[in-house]
């Protein structure tokens, strides 16, 4: 056992002894606290007030929070309480709270949760404080908080013990407050545009809506294997068939894939579908949605991410896969991109896997992912994807080798995927068959054949466009977070030893 663990065990033993003594005197964890004030709101209301003005107002406050700082100075002491809105200083003395309670306070520890009632005032140094005339211990903290100067330095511990991270790190609290604000802005924007928020199943009999490896579970009552949702797409399009013409879902998806700074096996997306739109309409809408949410959340459409500017205020660039390769990778020529043999050899040379899917479009996409994607820093729509890599998207009426699809890239990563939906049931059935053949050939991420979805399309789905936005990645951008785990309250980690 390390010296640090021995010290912690000793401190915990001392705190447990204090708790035992508290239990012997009465209720150890009272449940009748009803604070009427918050630290942040008190600061908003009184920070600009003069010391003499506060003395004349005699404003009474009742606050509760975690004790983060404590200074005992004979007959008077100071403590700093932290609640959900911030921190405020408490001043107490033996005459105000009574000798017995003051003696108890001196035994309380950092991390304890206490309540205080008293008069709002300012110290001679101008710090807003509460002169407590009542103070009570509400919750005894048995574990000591991390050292206030070093905080929670180990990043994995911050992810694993997010509750401590939130206590100790104001920046972490701000990240998740901003995430909540951004999600609310997304919802408000969607509803103002006439979209209906819906909920679709998370347990699927057939995984669908994306090319991904699913998690498998078993339903005992039905005696059947089921799959955690990899995407809500096929259910949302069933709702379009049913007559809901604009729907959206902010949903949790699960994909049994690798973990990285951009990937977590459980993640949040928003998918939305609009009848009588095409991918061009969806592109315009998505651009404005992200711009408005950025402004609502941060106050500006010009963001800073990892030291570089990301400008959402200007029109987003729009390029095809091959146009993007030629623009960002001038070592390639148009003639080379038309040569399948060259593309296969180049993909091999780069150490990437040559696609098993036939067609030059799949080769273009593989080369794009390997050479170009990471170079797309400012918002860029990559449009008109090859049909080989877009099994659910509608083929272009002008060029059946491409689909009416776009993906949005920023900061070198994908943020959104959208297309004019395929509403031809016979075309969709044929594409499902090809996906099933690819799965039989060993492609674990290929889609299953979904007969019920084909049946839904056979009833008729109006012309529709759909889009999926990676909420977690967008939150990384809005909060300037380098790792997806920074914007997930409880990211997945290996089991603790």
- b vs e for 456-481, b when ≥16 Cβ sit within 10 Å of the residue's Cβ? bbeeebeebbbbbbbbbbbbbbbbbb
Sign, CA dihedral 112-118-119-124, equals negative
* Cα(132)–Cα(69) distance, integer angstroms: 16
Quick one: tokens of 390? Answer: 């877009």
DSSP 373: G
* Cα(446)–Cα(467) distance, integer angstroms: 20
Answer whether 17's CB lies under 8 Å from 24's CB.
Answer: no
Give the residue among 376, 424, 410, 422 at the shortest CA–CA distance from 286. 410
* CB count in 10 Å sphere of residue 387: 20
DSSP 395: B
Distance, C-alpha 472 to centroid of its chain: 4
- Residue in the structure block whose two tokens are 């002491």: 77
Give the residue among 288, 292, 259, 286 at the shortest CA–CA distance from 270. 286
**Residue 137 phi/psi, 5° resolution?**
-80, 125
Answer whether 302's CB lies under 8 Å from 311's CB.
Answer: yes
What residues form the annotated binding site for Mg(2+)?
Answer: 407, 414
Answer whether 305's CB lies under 8 Å from 411's CB.
Answer: yes
- b vs e for 130-153, b when ≥16 Cβ sit within 10 Å of the residue's Cβ? bbbbebbbbebbbebbbeeeeebe
Quick one: tokens of 252? Answer: 């949790």
Q: What is the three-class DSSP state of 64?
A: strand
* Cα(342)–Cα(34) distance, integer angstroms: 72
Whole-Å CA distances, 321 to 366, 405, 422: 10, 11, 21
Answer whether 361's CB lies under 8 Å from 391's CB.
Answer: no
What residues form the annotated binding site?
Answer: 407, 414
Number of DSSP helices (H) and strands (E) in the chain, helices first = 17, 18
Whole-Å CA distances, 225 to 162, 199, 220, 222, 237: 33, 22, 9, 9, 24
Give the residue among 437, 475, 492, 497 at the shortest CA–CA distance from 182. 475
């Amino acid at each position: 056992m390390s010296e640090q663990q021995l010290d912690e065990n000793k401190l915990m033993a001392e705190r447990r002894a204090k708790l035992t003594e508290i239990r012997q005197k009465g209720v150890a964890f009272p449940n009748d606290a009803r604070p009427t004030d918050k630290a942040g709101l008190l600061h908003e209301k009184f920070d600009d007030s003069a010391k003499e003005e506060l003395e004349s107002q005699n404003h009474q406050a009742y606050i509760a929070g975690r004790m983060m700082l404590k200074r005992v100075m004979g007959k008077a002491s100071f403590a700093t309480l932290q609640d959900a809105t911030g921190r405020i200083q408490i001043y107490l003395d033996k005459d105000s709270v009574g000798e017995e309670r003051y003696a108890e306070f001196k035994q309380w520890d950092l991390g304890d949760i206490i309540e205080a009632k008293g008069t709002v005032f300012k110290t001679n140094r101008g710090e807003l404080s509460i002169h407590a005339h009542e103070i009570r211990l509400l919750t005894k903290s048995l574990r000591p908080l991390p050292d206030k100067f070093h905080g929670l330095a180990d990043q994995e511990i911050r992810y694993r013990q997010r509750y401590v991270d939130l206590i100790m790190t104001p920046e972490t609290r701000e990240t998740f407050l901003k995430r909540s604000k951004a999600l609310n802005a997304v919802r408000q924007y969607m509803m103002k545009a006439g979209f209906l928020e819906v909920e679709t199943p998370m347990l699927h009999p057939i995984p669908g809506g994306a090319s991904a490896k699913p998690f498998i579970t078993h339903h005992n009552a039905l005696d059947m294997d089921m799959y955690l949702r990899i995407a809500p797409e096929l259910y949302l399009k069933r709702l379009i068939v049913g007559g809901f013409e604009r729907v959206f879902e902010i949903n949790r998806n699960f994909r049994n894939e690798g973990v990285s700074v951009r990937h977590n096996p459980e993640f949040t997306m928003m998918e939305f579908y609009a009848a009588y739109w095409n991918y061009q309409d969806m592109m315009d809408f998505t651009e404005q949605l992200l711009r408005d949410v950025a402004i609502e959340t941060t106050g500006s459409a010009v963001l800073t991410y990892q030291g570089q500017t990301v400008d959402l205020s200007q029109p987003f660039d729009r390029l095809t896969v091959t146009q993007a390769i030629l623009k960002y990778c001038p070592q390639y020529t148009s003639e080379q991109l038309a040569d399948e043999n060259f593309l296969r050899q180049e993909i091999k040379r780069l150490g990437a896997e040559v696609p098993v899917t036939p067609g030059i479009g799949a080769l273009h996409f593989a080369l794009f992912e390997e050479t170009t994607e990471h170079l797309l820093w400012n918002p860029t729509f990559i449009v008109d994807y090859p049909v080989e890599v877009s099994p659910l998207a509608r083929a272009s009426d002008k060029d059946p080798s491409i689909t009416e699809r776009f993906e949005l890239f920023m900061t070198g990563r994908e943020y959104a995927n959208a297309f004019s939906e395929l509403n031809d049931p016979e075309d969709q059935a044929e594409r499902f068959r090809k996906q099933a053949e690819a799965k039989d050939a060993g492609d674990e991420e290929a889609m299953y054949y979904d007969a019920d979805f084909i049946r839904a399309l056979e009833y008729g789905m109006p012309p529709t466009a759909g889009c999926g936005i990676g909420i977690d990645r967008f939150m990384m951008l809005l909060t300037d977070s380098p790792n997806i785990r920074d914007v997930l309250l409880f990211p997945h980690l290996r089991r603790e030893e």
